Amino acid sequence: MDKLKKDAERISSLEIQGATDVCLSACDFLSDYAQRLEIDDKKKILKKLHKGKDILFATRPTEPAMKNGLNYILKKLEKELELIAISEIPSKVQQFKDEYHKMLLDSKAKIAKIGANRFPDDDPEGFTVFTHCHSSVVTAILIEAKNQGKNFRVVNTETQPKLQGRKTAKELLDAGIKVIHVVDSAMRWAVNHFEADIILVGADSITSEGTVLNKIGSRLLALVSRENHVPFYVATPLLKYNPETSFGILEIIEMRDTNEIWEEPPKNLEIVNPAFETVSRRYIDGLITEAGIFPSAHAYLWFQKLYPDLVS
Catalytically active residues are 133, 204
Count how many Cα atoms sit within 13 Å of the Cα of residue 261 in the half-sphere of its side chain: 13
Q: Are strands 152-157 and 205-206 parallel, antiparallel or unpaired?
A: unpaired
Distance separating alpha carbons of residues 182 and 246, to the nearest angstrom = 37
Contact 201, 254 (CB under 8 A): no
**CB atoms closer than 10 angstroms to residue 56:** 26
* Nearest CA-CA partner of 51 in 63, 33, 78, 24: 33
Write out the DSSP string of 183-235.
-GGGHHHHHHHTT-SEEEE--SEE-TTS-EEEETTHHHHHHHHHHHT--EEEE
Judged by DSSP in three states, 267 sits in coil
Helix (H) or strand (E) holding 133: none
Residue type, 115: G
Distance separating alpha carbons of residues 113 and 141, to the nearest angstrom = 7
Q: What is the DSSP letter of 255?
A: B
Handedness of CA 71, 72, 74, 76 (dihedral sign): positive
Distance separating alpha carbons of residues 270 and 279, to the nearest angstrom = 26
Helix (H) or strand (E) holding 95: helix 89-116
> Which residues, at least 6 apart from 225, have a Cβ–Cβ distance to it below 8 Å?
191, 199, 231, 232, 283
